[in-house]
Structure 1
Amino acid sequence: MTRHEDDMERTFAALPPAHGRGFAQTWWGQAWLKALEGTALDSAQLKTGRRLARAGAVGAVSVRPGRLTAVVQDRDRTAHRADVLLEELSPGQWDRFLDMTAERAGHVAALLDREMPPHLVEDAADSGVELLPGLGDLEPECDCGAWDHCGHTAALCYQVARLLDQDPFVLLLMRGRDETTLLEDLQARSGASTTDSAEPEGVDAAEAYAAGDILPPLPDLPGLPGGPGRPPSLETEAPPAPGIDPAALSFLAAQTAVRAHGLLRGALQGDLRATPAQDAVRLAAGDPGREVADRLAEGSGRGREGLATAVRAWRHGGAAALSVLDEEWRAEGETLARARAALESAWDTGERPELRARGNRWTVAGTPVQLRLGRDGRWWPYRKERGRWQPAGGAAQDPATALASATAPASAELAPGEGNSL
């Protein structure tokens, strides 16, 4: 079921100025900005775009399949029409995405909660559907005559990152389907899967043995399963043997299934990287319960507070964020030059904070706020809480955006073993 493109247009009122906050708080909003910042050839235009977006210079944003449009005003009030194009998904890609999503109730529930969990995007990619834009996918058009991203199209992209934070259906609309159509298609697929009575696959065993002189063709090799397997229940009437903790075993079995699925995906993609230290933090981030969390804290050598900090880092960015937490290194040569250039261009002269550098860490003078440079060139925000530096958000290419995350009010984050589910 599809609708005419004109019927799928949504218009969002101009947002207020964004002083003192980052443009993207969610991981998918940050991925959107990465597609912009990793492609634009002129960092000065990105800086202009951030300044215009923060000042509220972006008017109402029109979103429709394949295109974003807004009027952006320069400092002198000159208005420019800015458009950003994003390729729509093909009908075949939409069919694969809808089939995959309809099979997993958790994906539908997440979308209805206005969330886009990483496993939804990963499962879509496994189906051959890239939801988030990659480098070079955001194509600019502006009446100012620029052939690459200008300050106007960059400002539009920064503003749309805020819209994506609030509603990931904005991204799906750009890819070609509005919320109503998408949910109707999902409902139709879910209903068909429960009412259709498909013929059983395979051959009856008696028939196969009766035709023993005929060699049937071998089946195709199985592909990556749609999700991790479910371990068997360990609940029995017999009491556990001394030293055996059934709850811990159940948790580890479930986590092992998830890890095995991830390792298989990584092997198929040629990406197998993990260390025991990272694995301990990953397990703790799965809310294992207080007893298992205490054992992980002891076994990892981090202690309970150190593990809680490591879990916060992991939840902000996985292994990359954990490396930034644990490693302090000296930025030198070209790396240092790039870092200094990024810091110089991130703020206007009068707005630039006083930064004191040590290694790959820049602390804002007189404040409990810090920026850490990752080896991949991204900036990570940190905030000192109770005398300990704590991760304060995800990475950003722009140090000003990262710093805004560090200065925003701290959100409540649970340590391993705390909260209702632990």
Structure 2
Amino acid sequence: MTPARRTGSAGGARSRTFPPLPPRPGSRGPFAASWWGNAWVAALEGGQGAEGRLSRGRTYARGGAVGEITVSTGRVDARVQGSRRTPYRTSVALPQFGDADWDRLLEAVAAHSGHIAALLDRAMPPELAEDALAAGVPLFPRREQLEPSCSCPDWGHPCKHAAAVFYQVARLLDEDPFVLLLIRGRTEQEIVDDLQRRNAEYAAAEAAEAPPVPAAAPAGVPARTAFAAARSGLPPLPPPPPPVDRPGPVPVLSGSAEPGAGIDPAALEFLAADAAARAARLLADALAEGHPESPLPVELTVRQDTVRLAAAEPPPHVLARLAADATPAGPAALARAVSAWRYGGPAGLAVLDEAWTPAPAALARARDELSPARTGEALPELRNRRNHWTAPGLGVQLRLDPDGRWHPYRRERNIWWPAGPPDRDPAAALAAALNTPD
């Protein structure tokens, strides 16, 4: 399985994003390869009703219709290709364990060193699930606990697209049972740290109660002590490297490829230069004062990274390849995405790609920000649809992002184009949209 990209803080990834899994032809036999993966499937298939949708969901999953999957605490999100051209946005929410549940579960795991070793080896012994159930913390959800959501018109519970996502998660569990524990509310790092703490406490209690060892007997180390000290005994980190003021030189690769090898030297040179520039920025951030309190950069999606590379002005033939990968609409759509990226980064690209519906409280705040009392001037009439505010007849629009920033847009040849950087002041963003381009 392709390794997952992880996003979140340095203290443990709160979500993990997996690339699309390859199709798995055939319809007979268990869907998953592990017993715990099939136990996950059994949770979906238990109960009565929706068998037809489940069957179609299984077929979708086996056929590779499920795209990139993001697993986070309490939910799974993915896009599923159905009969329409645009994939459906699908999610499945599941209940998370409370603190008391986690305490009982981790106590049951820590009581058996074999459970810990199996988890670290990316396996789940049946005894672990049995001990969790005996502690009143069933690892696998019941079907009625699932809360599917999908942008498709099917009102089934679940629809075939949500069922496909649920089936595909079973294949992720085959490779890493920590995926199940992440859905239930805690990251791998949080779980390992808690188990280490519990083992250290057990080791200290055992050492206090142990009878004195005869002088002639060889001294031993309790297994829990060794496990708890596994990380604390590491040597100190080396001193940080010196700061750099610019990226290093990029090797010249043009003409070095063998004929017919399918390698584009100019594209490799461009990617190497981009990687060097990003490494220099990351190193500068790491050496800056206060860096330990700064979050790690969030890893970009394939779409975001493609647009970012296109914004870096690659060679024309590399740009053409990026345009083909970024969108079926071609170079014009990529140019619009690049403009959104240059003005607003990932948030700018997000408001270009998708509309969203603000919550009532956020919608009320937005309307208040657009009032003359707040802006200090009378704005033109703005008609609201979801997070878009459009001025009829003026060819301008404001788009609100989830962080409360307004992105200006201008209509050009019947297409909405980004017109400036976002601003928390809607009047300033509207002025940028109204400003006639040179």
Normalized against structure 2, the TM-score is what?
A: 0.43
- Which of these two proteins has the greater Rg computed from alpha carbons? 2
Say which structure, 1 or 2, has more relative contact order (CA 8 Å, 6+ apart): 1
Q: How high is the TM-score relative to the length of structure 1? A: 0.44
